[in-house]
Amino acid sequence: MLPPVHHHIFPRDIAASSRHLLAPAMLQLPSVQLPSRISHPHASTKPINIPDDRPYQEGGDRVAGRFKIPNNKKRKRKLEEFLLQLEQSQQEESLKKLAARGGVGLLDYERRIPHSIGDDVYNAIVKIKCTESTGNFATPWQTMPTTRSSASGFVIDGKMIMTNAHAVTNATMIQVKLRDRSKWHTAKVAHINHDADLCVLTVRDKEFWEGTTVLVMDGIPSLQDEVIVVGYPAGGEHICLTKGVVSRRETIDYCHSWMDLFGIQIDAPINEGNSGGPVLMGDKVVGVAFMGLDSLQNCSYMIPTPVISHFISSIKKKGKYMGMGWCGFMWERVESKHMCQKLGLKKKDSGVRIVKVYPTTHAGKVLKLDDVVVSIDGLKINSDGTLDYVIQRKKGRGKKSRDIVKLRMNHVANMRLPGERVKLTIVRKKQKIPITLKLADMRTIFQLVPMTMHDQMPSFFVFAGMVFTKLSLPYLSDTFGDEWPSEAPSGMVQTLMSDNVLKKRNQEVVILSSLLDSDLTIGYDYGTRRVTKINGKTVNNLKDVVKFIENDRDRAFLEVRLGGGSYIVLETKKAWKQNKAILRQYEVSKDRSADLKT
């Protein structure tokens, strides 16, 4: 039988015309003139002669139309193979007739079906379903309703399953199964990389791994290379293939982490459920499907092999994911001739100007504002901040071709581990200076206001009706919705977008997120405000809030200073006396998150 028709592979008119061809072989066959010998790739390699008209015997062979269905197993098997060959012949004849009428011809048909994918590939594709429980950052003592989602994955070396991080984020249970199997197996997260939206799962049940195939990573595809996305998207239960071409290769915004990393755009549809599935060229993996743009047609993205390899190599070297390297400075393009002259660049030089250096990184010690970075690890930096990556490809007869991919200069650092070193060449006061730079970990720099809180429940402390938590993007999103940039307090948005730099360890932006109405809070009507001091002591994090309130029970009044000069004053004894009653009234099951318990 030919592979099932799928609307992503076939035009709808061909699918409709061919539907009768793809039905199971029927025993009641029409009277047709048949060739004497027919071969079929799925039948025996030896061509079979058409069975002769042997005498029908009572109680022996059964008759179907003109053909006798023998009880003898050997003769029966030969006839079944012959019927399969006949069906193939009819399919080819129908397609040739379509071609004669201006439809898709046989060669085009063969090209459209992904024969380059071997049967073993299907034994590596995994369907994933996940139960998730996410924290409610607006009312942090509660959780959001439990949700369920599905995704795809594939088997890699080491008895692991590769998929997307967003497919299993906040998971309370993960189950996986293979194609053509009905049993689901429990899986666990072995390593997760939220930066690049990648994750590997493990399955303890040995039965799951029986008969599986390991997929191998390949290189970077060229523009217009044909790729096939394999997975379990919405719209059906079984495995699905979609074909497309490589449209673009550049640095893109990974929506799961808000990081700019190398990504490849393809025009093959990537729908809900496709996430984590392999993108293939032949039997080799060239990427992992992970996101699409709803606002554009045929615009999907895959994570390329260099980003995947960085994740896997980190696990092999260190036993866990260690993060991505970061240079520790912000830069802007140098495209103006006047700016180049001012900074001392020669005509043949190009690069980027440093506009901000983070003091807690090694860059804060060796780089200065207005330094121009002209190369990194020997790669020249273009005036737009990109690098020309040259990929050597074999063309045959020993010849090679050059394929150039333009990526932002950050890619060199991103593909290293934090703590490793890169070599920079900078121009400072018209002089070229070589510098060896120790890379920082971006995750430990932008933590003053977290942009993501994956796999984390919100931190909070509730006392006397005052709800304290820490500022994060998930909090702004849950509290103010999609319009948070305009609806949230401007000072908090400014901190998130511009001043989001950790200046010392364990520093957090603590906020009073809400006041639970009670006799204690009459007269106070404050929305979201930043907490600066409690009882005259500077608040650096939520643990300070708990410590200052619990250690100052003997004070006559509890004083909470807020941003903008406002403050709340409560009588300390009454606050402690009514605290539990307020918690019960608002069904707050616990007064603090697990990370604040001593």
Distance (Å, whole) CA 290 – CA 253: 12
pLDDT of the residue at 96:
52
Same domain membership, residue 185 and residue 138: yes
- Whether the Cβ atoms of residue 275 and residue 164 lie closer than 8 Å to each other: yes
Closest CA to 542 of 441, 442, 471, 486: 471
Q: Is residue 496 packed enough to be buried (19+ CB in 10 Å), middle (13-18) or exposed (0-12)?
A: buried
The CB-side HSE value for 310 (13 A sphere, CA atoms) comes to: 24
Domain assignment present for residue 352? The answer is: yes
Distance (Å, whole) CA 400 – CA 159: 36
Domain assignment present for residue 533? The answer is: yes
Q: Residue 349 catalytic?
A: no
For residue 189, pLDDT beyond 90: yes
Distance (Å, whole) CA 28 – CA 6: 27
Reduce the DSSP state of residue 583 to 3 states and report it: helix
- The mean pLDDT value for 178-207 works out to 95
For residue 113, pLDDT beyond 60: no
Same domain membership, residue 425 and residue 340: yes
Same domain membership, residue 281 and residue 358: no
Domain assignment present for residue 36? The answer is: yes
Q: Quickly count: other Cβ atoms within 10 Å of residue 66's Cβ.
A: 11
Same domain membership, residue 473 and residue 425: no
33: pLDDT confidence band, cut at 50, 70 and 90? very low
116: pLDDT confidence band, cut at 50, 70 and 90? low
Domain assignment present for residue 449? The answer is: no
Q: Residue 486 catalytic?
A: no
Domain assignment present for residue 218? The answer is: yes
Task: State the residue range of the domain holding 104.
Answer: 12-112
Same domain membership, residue 387 and residue 465: no
Residue-wise pLDDT tens digits, 427-482: 999 999 999 999 999 777 767 899 899 999 999 999 999 999 999 999 999 999 99
pLDDT of the residue at 258:
87
Same domain membership, residue 297 and residue 171: yes
Reduce the DSSP state of residue 482 to 3 states and report it: helix
Among 265, 293, 322, which residue terminates a domain? Answer: 322
Which position has the higher pLDDT, 26 or 250? 250
Residue-wise pLDDT tens digits, 417-426: 999 999 999 9
Q: Residue 166 catalytic?
A: yes
Distance (Å, whole) CA 528 – CA 508: 15
Same domain membership, residue 170 and residue 290: yes
- Whether the Cβ atoms of residue 463 and residue 126 lie closer than 8 Å to each other: no
- The mean pLDDT value for 497-514 works out to 87
Question: Which amino acid is present at 64?
Answer: A
Distance (Å, whole) CA 260 – CA 240: 30
- Whether the Cβ atoms of residue 437 and residue 418 lie closer than 8 Å to each other: no
- Whether the Cβ atoms of residue 256 and residue 166 lie closer than 8 Å to each other: yes
519: pLDDT confidence band, cut at 50, 70 and 90? very high
Domain assignment present for residue 453? The answer is: no
Same domain membership, residue 131 and residue 59: no
- Whether the Cβ atoms of residue 149 and residue 167 lie closer than 8 Å to each other: yes
Among 112, 130, 163, which residue terminates a domain? Answer: 112
Alpha carbon separation from 517 to 98, 438, 583 (Å, rounded): 75, 52, 11
Domain assignment present for residue 7? The answer is: no
108: pLDDT confidence band, cut at 50, 70 and 90? very low
DSSP assignment string, 143-189: BPPPEEEEEEEEEETTTEEEE-STTTTTEEEEEEEETT----EEEEE
Contacts of 107 (CB under 8 A, 6+ apart): none
Reduce the DSSP state of residue 198 to 3 states and report it: strand
For residue 296, pLDDT beyond 90: no
CATH number at residue 405: 2.30.42.10
Say how many domains are in the chain: 4
CATH number at residue 490: 3.20.190.20
Residue-wise pLDDT tens digits, 375-434: 999 999 999 999 998 877 766 566 667 788 999 999 999 999 999 999 999 999 999 999
- What is the pTM assigned to this prediction? 0.77
Distance (Å, whole) CA 313 – CA 336: 40
Distance (Å, whole) CA 140 – CA 516: 13
* Set 17, 150, 152, 275: catalytic member: 275
Q: Considering only 142-156, 324-338, 499-513, 524-538, which range has the smallest mean pLDDT?
A: 499-513
Contacts of 566 (CB under 8 A, 6+ apart): 526, 529
| pLDDT averaged over every residue in the chain | 83
Distance (Å, whole) CA 175 – CA 455: 18
* Set 17, 61, 152, 166: catalytic member: 166
Distance (Å, whole) CA 304 – CA 302: 6
Same domain membership, residue 365 and residue 299: no
302: pLDDT confidence band, cut at 50, 70 and 90? very high
Domain assignment present for residue 160? The answer is: yes
Contacts 24+ apart (CB under 8 A), 157-162: 157/214, 159/202, 159/203, 159/209, 160/190, 160/200, 160/201, 160/202, 161/126, 161/128, 161/187, 161/200, 161/201, 161/202, 161/203, 162/198, 162/199, 162/200, 162/276, 162/278, 162/288, 162/308
- The mean pLDDT value for 104-117 works out to 40
* Set 197, 349, 478, 544: catalytic member: 197
Rg (CA), the chain: 32
378-410 burial, b if ≥16 CB within 10 A, otherwise e? eeebbbebbbebeeeeeeeeeeeeebebebbbb
Contacts 24+ apart (CB under 8 A), 29-32: 29/64, 29/65, 29/66, 29/67, 29/83, 29/86, 30/65, 31/65, 31/66
- Whether the Cβ atoms of residue 12 and residue 95 lie closer than 8 Å to each other: no
- Whether the Cβ atoms of residue 127 and residue 177 lie closer than 8 Å to each other: yes
Distance (Å, whole) CA 449 – CA 441: 16
In the chain, the percentage of residues whose pLDDT exceeds 90 is 65
Reduce the DSSP state of residue 8 to 3 states and report it: coil
For residue 285, pLDDT beyond 70: yes
Same domain membership, residue 87 and residue 17: yes
Same domain membership, residue 228 and residue 90: no
Same domain membership, residue 261 and residue 212: yes
Residues paired with 287 in a beta bridge: 279, 304
Residue 52 token pair: 């002769």
Among 112, 132, 161, which residue terminates a domain? Answer: 112
In the chain, the percentage of residues whose pLDDT exceeds 70 is 80
The single-letter DSSP state of residue 138 is S
